[in-house]
Structure formats: C-alpha cells, structure tokens
Chains A and B, each alone.
Chain A
Amino acid sequence: MEKEELIDNLKAQIIRQLNLDVDPDLINGESPIFKNSGLGLDSIDDLELVALLGRNYGIKVGYLEDIQKKFKTLNSLADFIIKESVEQT
C-alpha cells in the first residue's frame, strides 16, 4: 500500500474509531496527533490507537509512552506501520 493511501486510511480509521468530530480535509500527514493544535488525542485515545494498530495492522505496541513520542504525526505513524510490516514479512 502506498504511503499516501495508508495515511488516508489511518485518517478515516482514527476519526471513526475515536469518534472525533474532525473534518478529514483539515488533516494532513503533518497534523499533530496528540497536541491540542492537532487531533488532541488524550490517554484513553492512546489505548484506542493501540487497539486500532493491533486489529487493523497486526502491530503490537508494548509501551504506551512510545505512542506519544514516536507517533507525533500521521506521517510518523504511517512510517512506523510500513517499517513494522516490512519486518514482519
């Protein structure tokens, strides 16, 4: 899957799974996921994101503190998914 397509999928999945009232057209790859200036996800949303990665991409996130440090934007989250997918094949 191309990265752009992955980002579009992630955008839709995050909005749906976390029930966010966000206009998808306002989100791009560099939109912050956790800061108030972006999607503003909080701690319980982190867990929903972990569940989403596990269910939709077969990726296991072992440390919650990694979520906010590594996945600052949709771009960095997409890069992580692509990297994990390559390592699993």
Chain B
Amino acid sequence: MLSIYYTQKTLHMTPQFWEWCKLQLPLSICEKIEKGLSKSKMETSLLGYLLLKVVLAKNNVSDDFAKLYYTPEGRPKIGHDFDFNISHSDEYVVCAFSKDHQVGVDIEKIKSISLEFLKDFFNIDEWENIQLSRNSQETFYKLWTQKEATVKADGRGLNIPLKEIIIQQNHGYVESAKWFLQEIPLHKKYMMYVATNEPIQCYRSVKINFKQTH
C-alpha cells in the first residue's frame, strides 16, 4: 500500500512552535536546519523531518528515525523494509511511504516560469508537447514533476541528465529501468506525481495537522 502523508504550512511558525518542533528532532538535524538563511525554507525543512517522524510512528517503525542517513547522491534513507521520499513546495510538505514499493515523489506549486530558456532539459517530443499544449505552463509542470519523481525514486536525483529521463504514457524510463507514475491530486494550484517500481493498485492520502498551540 502506498501512503501519501502531507501537511500544510499556512502561517509562519511562532517562536514557541518552532522550539517545540525542534524538541521532537535530534540536535544534529536542528543544527543543520538552523544554518539556513531563508526562514520559510528552514520551516519547511523542519516540517519535513517532523512529518517523516510522524509517518514512521504511524507505520510502527518509529525507532528507525535514528537510523536516518543520506546516500552519496543525497537521498535520505532509513531501513530496508520500507521506502519513503519527501518533497515540498510553498505551503505543502509531503511524504510518500510504502512497505511494498520503491518510491519517489515531487510536488510543485504551479506558477509562471520562463519556458524559453528551458528547452535543453527536454527531448524533442516533450518540448513539442509543451509548446503545442493549450496550457504550456501546466504541461511543463506535469512533465517536470514526473521526471523529478522518477529520478528521486531511482535515487540518483539530478545526477541523471534530465533529457535522458524519458516520460511516456505515465511511465518514467531511466536507462533500462521502468518507473510507474501516478498523479496525486492535492490542490488545483499544485502538481504532484509519485513514481514507483511496480504499478500502484491503490493509494491513500493522509493529512497531518501540526497545530501551533505549543
């Protein structure tokens, strides 16, 4: 079963809530986050770790949070009995979790972007698809999140040249590997895709609320 956990950040965190969140996480993670320069990105990063901790607890693998490590390519990993992947954009932080699949997830807020300089990151068919579509911005974000979810599931991230990730009919191809893509509707202003190593029969979405009452 694939589960998509998500939380929505609607306000800047109060100092009290920030301190409470930090108490839930290892000191090393808090120190890493607090080296950042952007307050909103620090808050999002903190929420990402907090969401992961909640996800592990809900799936009865909470003790594994201490085993969190990063691969040489920068992908977070924990155990071998499950896989997870985190993504965030603007207000939303999401965590895809599965004990049955390898997963990659990407969410992006759909906002205006200059497409004219981005042609080299897509192959001819994909670029034509973007240019000829009724809503080129939406088509761009669809292809982008599909590619991102695929390379995150693969584990090598942007070390794979984007043009070499082929997206065809809800499948992402990286070298000889085939990944299955599923759109996850969350909000009309956002595009989100999950990539898995096997087809998904069904998935569930779970909203996690962190109330700023602390």
A residues in contact (CB < 8 Å) with B: 20-23, 26-27, 31, 36-40, 42-44, 46-48, 50-51, 53-55, 60-65, 68
Interface pair B158/A65, CB less than 8 Å apart:
yes
Known: A21-B38, A63-B120. 20 other contacts (CB 8 A): A21-B40, A22-B38, A27-B37, A36-B32, A36-B45, A37-B35, A37-B36, A38-B36, A40-B38, A47-B118, A50-B117, A51-B117, A54-B114, A54-B117, A55-B114, A60-B117, A62-B120, A64-B121, A64-B161, A65-B162
Shortest distance in angstroms between B206's beta carbon and chain A's nearest beta carbon? 24
**Which B residues between 83 and 124 are near A, CB-CB below 8 angstroms?**
88-89, 106, 108, 113-114, 116-118, 120-121
**B214 in the interface, Cβ–Cβ < 8 Å?**
no
Shortest distance in angstroms between A7's beta carbon and chain B's nearest beta carbon? 15
Shortest distance in angstroms between B15's beta carbon and chain A's nearest beta carbon? 16
- Report Cα–Cα, A36/B113, bound state, in Å: 23
B residues in contact (CB < 8 Å) with A: 32-33, 35-42, 45, 88-89, 106, 108, 113-114, 116-118, 120-121, 144, 148, 158-162
Shortest distance in angstroms between B85's beta carbon and chain A's nearest beta carbon? 13
- Report Cα–Cα, A69/B118, bound state, in Å: 18
Interface pair A51/B32, CB less than 8 Å apart:
no
Q: Which of B37, B89, B161 contacts A31 (CB 8 A)?
A: B37
Cβ of B159: which chain A residues have Cβ within 8 Å of it?
A: 65
27 A-B pairs whose Cβ atoms sit less than 8 Å apart in the complex: A20-B41, A21-B38, A21-B40, A22-B37, A36-B33, A36-B41, A36-B45, A39-B37, A39-B38, A40-B36, A40-B41, A43-B106, A43-B148, A44-B108, A44-B144, A47-B113, A50-B117, A50-B118, A51-B118, A55-B117, A61-B120, A63-B120, A64-B121, A64-B158, A64-B162, A65-B159, A68-B158
Interface of B is mostly: helix
Cβ of B41: which chain A residues have Cβ within 8 Å of it?
A: 20, 36, 39-40
Cβ of A48: which chain B residues have Cβ within 8 Å of it?
A: 113
Closest 4 CB pairs of A and B: A37-B35, A54-B117, A51-B114, A40-B41
Of A20, A47, A63, chain B has the most CB atoms within 10 Å of the CB of A47
Cβ of A44: which chain B residues have Cβ within 8 Å of it?
A: 89, 108, 113, 144
Nearest-CB residue, chain B, relative to A36: B36
Cβ of A68: which chain B residues have Cβ within 8 Å of it?
A: 158
Q: Which of A38, A51, A64 contacts B37 (CB 8 A)?
A: A38
